[in-house]
A and B are shown apart, each in its own frame.
Chain A
Amino acid sequence: MAKRIKVLVGKPGLDGHDRGARVVARALRDAGMEVIYTGIRQTPEQIVATAIQEDVDAVGLSCLSGAHNNLFPKVVNLLREKGAEDILVFGGGIIPDGDIAGLKEAGIKEIFRPGSSTDETIKFITDQVNQ
C-alpha cells in the first residue's frame, strides 16, 4: 500500500476568501490524505516553515485577491532556499489565463480555477506524489 499523502493547504497574503481552500482541504481528507489547513493571512515564510516542519508531500495555495503572482512564486523560491524543492506546489483561485504560464515557469505545477472538480485535484496530487 502506498504511504499516506500529506498536504498543506495554505492561504498566503491578506485574502480572506477561504471557501475554496476549506472545500479542497476537506475533499483531500475524504480521499484519505492527511491535510493541514493553515487558516487565512499567512506569509509565504509561515507557509514554508509549516510545510517543512510537517514534512508534507505537497503544498496547495489559494488566492482570490489577485496577489498570486507575488505570493505563489515566493513560496516556491523559499522552499528551494530551504532545500525542500521536492515538495509539490499547486494553486487555485481567480487566476487569469495570462498569468498561468508565468506561474508554471516559476515552479507551480498546476493551477486549478473556478469550476475545477476536487477529483481533478486529488488525481493530480496522487499522480505527482507517487511518480
Chain B
Amino acid sequence: MTCSERKQAFQQRQQQWQELVDKACARFPERRENFATTSGIEMKRLFTPEDVEQVDYTEDIGFPGIYPFTRGVQPTMYRARFWTMRQYAGFGSAEETNKRYKYLLENGQTGLSVAFDLPTQIGYDSDFELSEGEVGKVGVAIDTLADMEMLFDGISLDKVSTSMTINSPAAVLLAMYVAVAEKQGVAPAQLRGTIQNDVLKEYFARGTYIFPPSPSMKIITDIFAFCKDTLPNWNTISISGYHIREAGSTAVQEVAFTLADGLAYVDAAIKTGLDVDVFAKRLSFFFNVHNPFLEEVAKFRAARRLWAWLMKERFGAKKPASMMMRFHTQTAGCSLTAQQPDNNVIRVTIQALAAVLGGTNSLHTNSRDEALCLPTEDSVRIALRTQQVIAHESGVADSVDPLAGSYLIESLTSKIEAQALAYIKKIDDLGGVVKAIEAGYIQNEIGDSAYAYQKAVEAKEQIIVGVNKFTIEEAPPENLLTVKAEMEQKQRQKLAQVKESRDNEAVNKALQQLKVVAEDGGNLMIPILAAVKLYASLGEVCGVLRQVFGEYQEQ
C-alpha cells in the first residue's frame, strides 16, 4: 500500500467507527458531555496516530539518557537500580524520629527524608513565644547541633542519602548536617542528599518564608557556591511543585510554576558569576503525583522535556547533566480522605504507579492515616510496601518508559508542555516569577483552580469515593499517633541545658562574625558553619539574619 492508500484506508475505517459511535451514543449516552483533565485538556474519545503527527520520535521522544530526556534521565532507568524509596518522616523529638528512621531502614527504605517542625522551618527555637503548641508537631524539633547529633545517632552518613525539607533556614540545617558528619569522621565530599532550599514557592504555596525575596535568593546562591567545591554530591535545591499542587493547582500549573521558579534560581546563580554547567547538574526537582493517572504520567515526561529545552535554549547549557531534570515525587496528601481511610492505600498505589511510569528518581508514598494525624508505624510500612510491590512484582520497571508511543500519552505530553510554556511566557511578560508573586498572579491562578475543584466535588461532578459517594457510617478511627504535650517542655529544657554547657563567649563572637559577613555580602555558609559547630541555636543564627535582612510580610 502506498502512503496515500494507507491514509485513505484509515479515514474509511475512522468513518465507519464514527457511525458506530453515533449509534451507540444515541442508545447509551456517554457519562459526560465533555471529558477533560484537571488542566482542562480534552480527553478525546479515542487517540489515534493523527494526534501525534507533529511529534518527531527522534527529536521529541528520543532515547533515555539523551536530550531531551523525555524517556528518562538514565540510559537503563530501573533495570539497573529502582528509584530511591524515601519516606518523609519526622515528629516529636530527635530521639523519637531517630527510632523511626532506623525502623524504616530496617524495612528496606533506601534513603532518609527529614520532616522538621514549623518553628525549625521558620527559624525559631522551641522556647520562642510563637513556637508554643507547634514544637514537634509536623516534624522533628531541631534547635542546636545536639539535636541533629541525636537525629542521626547510629546512622552512618556516608552510607545513606538524606533529603531535608528545609527552605529559608536551609543553610543552617545543612551546616549542622556537615558538622554531624564531621563528628562521625565523614568528609563533606562523601555526603549525598538534598536540601529543599526553594524559597520562592514558600511565598505563594507553602508559607515558611522568613526573609524577603532578594536576601533569600542571595542565601540560595551562597549555598550553590559553597557546595560546588565542598559538597560536590549534594543536591543544592529541590525546586518544588509538590506544594503548588497541594495548594490546588492543576497539573499544567504545577509544571509551569515549578519551572518558572527554577528559571529564577538559574538566572540568579548566573548573575552571581556561577557557570551554568558547573551548578546546574546539582539542581533537583520535586513533584506531586495525584489521582488522574494518565495526565500525571504525561506530566512528568513533559516536565523533563521542557526543562531540558529551557536549559539549552535559554541559558546555553552545554553539558547533558545541566539539562537533565532529576526529581523526587510524593503522592498527593490532598487526595487522602479522612473517611474510610483504608481506601487511601489504593489511591496511593495508583499515584505511585504513575510516578514510576513517569520515570521518577525517588518516591515517597503517603500513609493511609495522614488525613487524620501523623502516620503510625503500621501505616508507614504499608506505604513503603506499596513501592516494593510495584518494584518487585508488577514488572513495570523492567522496560524503560513503557507507555511511550501511546497516542494518548504522547499527545498529552505535548499539550502539557505547550500549555506550561505558555504560562512561563506569561510570567516572563510580568517581569519574572518574583514580580508575578508580588502581583498576586500565581496565587490567584492556583486559588481559582482550588476553588473550581472544590465546587466540582460539591456538585458531584468529581466523585471522591467514600466522601461524596459510597459513604458509610464509621466509628472514629483508633490507634492514631499523637505527639505528647510534655515533649515541648522537654525540648525547651534540652535547649536550656545546651545553652548552659556551651562556650557562650565563643558563640557570641561567632554570631557577631556572622552579622559582619551578612552586612558585607560575603558567603554566609562559612560563618554559619562556624556558629553551629559551637552549638549556636537555629533561632540565634536566624535572629542575626533577621536583623540584617528583615522579614517578609505576606501581601
Q: Which A residues contact B (CB, under 8 angstroms)? A: 13-19, 22-23, 26-27, 39-41, 43, 65-67, 69-71, 94, 96-98, 113-115, 117-119
Q: Tell whether, in the assembled complex, residue B207 and residue A18 are in contact, meaning their CB atoms are under 8 Å apart.
A: yes
Closest beta carbon of chain A to B95's beta carbon, Å: 19
Q: Is the Cβ of B206 less than 8 Å from the Cβ of A16?
A: yes
A71/B371 contact (C-beta < 8 A), A15-B207, A19-B248, A23-B454 known: no
Q: A16-B206, A41-B207 in contact; A26/B447 too (CB < 8 A)?
A: yes
Q: In chain A, what residue has the closest Cβ to B480?
A: A96
* B103 close to A (CB within 8 Å): no
Task: Pick the residue among B454, B483, B554 that contacts A66 (CB under 8 A).
Answer: B483
Q: Collect the chain A residues with CB atoms within 8 Å of residue B131's CB.
A: 14
Bound CA span A97–B337, Å: 14
Q: List 29 A-B contacts (CB under 8 A).
A: A13-B118, A14-B131, A16-B202, A16-B206, A16-B208, A17-B246, A18-B207, A18-B247, A19-B246, A23-B248, A23-B451, A40-B207, A40-B554, A41-B207, A65-B118, A65-B134, A67-B133, A70-B133, A94-B372, A96-B372, A97-B476, A98-B476, A98-B480, A114-B336, A114-B371, A115-B467, A117-B458, A118-B454, A119-B458
CB <8 Å contact, A115 and B118: no
Are A19 and B482 within 8 A (Cβ)? no
A96 and B537 alpha carbons, distance in the complex (Å): 32
Q: A26–B449 Cα gap in the complex (Å)? A: 12
Is B334 interfacial (CB 8 A cutoff)? yes
CB of B339 within 8 Å of the partner chain: yes
Given the complex of chains A and B, what is the CA–CA distance between A43 and B353 in angstroms?
42
Residues of A within 8 A of B130 (CB): 13-14, 43
With contact pairs A14-B118, A41-B207, A115-B339 given, residues A65 and B554 touching in the complex (Cβ less than 8 Å): no
List of B residues within 8 angstroms of A13 by Cβ: 118, 130, 133-134
Q: Is the interface of A mostly helix, strand, loop or mixed?
A: loop
Known: A18-B247, A115-B337. 17 other contacts (CB 8 A): A13-B118, A14-B118, A14-B119, A18-B207, A19-B334, A22-B447, A22-B451, A23-B454, A26-B451, A43-B130, A67-B137, A71-B133, A94-B371, A98-B480, A114-B336, A114-B371, A115-B338
Which residues of chain B have C-beta atoms less than 8 A from A114's C-beta?
336-338, 371
Tell whether, in the assembled complex, residue B467 and residue A17 are in contact, meaning their CB atoms are under 8 Å apart.
Answer: no
Question: Are A69 and B450 closer than 8 Å at their CB atoms?
Answer: no
Complex alpha-carbon distance, A27 and B450, angstroms: 11
* Residues of chain B within 8 A of A16, CB atoms compared: 202, 206-208
State which of A17, A19, A69, A97 has its C-beta within 8 Å of the C-beta of B133. Answer: A69
The smallest beta-carbon distance between B13 and chain A, in angstroms, is 46
Q: Report whether A41 and B134 are in contact in the complex, using a CB–CB cutoff of 8 Å.
A: no
Q: In the complex, what residue of chain A is closest to B467 when comparing beta carbons?
A: A115
B391 adjacent to chain A (CB < 8 Å): no
Chain A residues with CB under 8 Å of B138's CB are 15, 65-66
Query: For the complex, is B550 an interface residue (Cβ under 8 Å from A)?
Result: no
B122 interfacial contact with A, CB 8 Å: yes
Q: Bound complex: CA of A69 vs CA of B137, how far in Å?
A: 12
Interface centre among B121, B138, B482 (most CB of A within 10 A): B138
Selected from B248, B338, B482, the residue in CB contact (under 8 A) with A113 is B338
8 Å CB contact of A14 from B122, B373, B467: B122
Complexed CA–CA distance, A39 and B131 (Å): 18
Q: How far is the CB of A16 from chain B (nearest CB, A)?
A: 2
> Please, which residues of chain B bring their CB within 8 A of the CB of A26?
447, 451
CA–CA, A63 and B202, complex, Å: 17
Instruction: Point out the residue from A43, A67, A119 that lies within 8 Å of B134, measured CB to CB.
Output: A67
CB distance from B538 to the nearest CB of A (A): 14
Closest chain B residue to A120, Cβ basis: B458
B461 at the interface (CB under 8 A from A): no
Closest to A119 in B: B458
Chain B residues, CB < 8 A from A40: 207, 554
Q: Which 4 A-B pairs have the closest CB atoms?
A: A16-B207, A70-B133, A67-B133, A66-B137
- A43 — which chain B residues lie within 8 A by C-beta? 130
Contact B247 A19 (CB under 8 A): yes
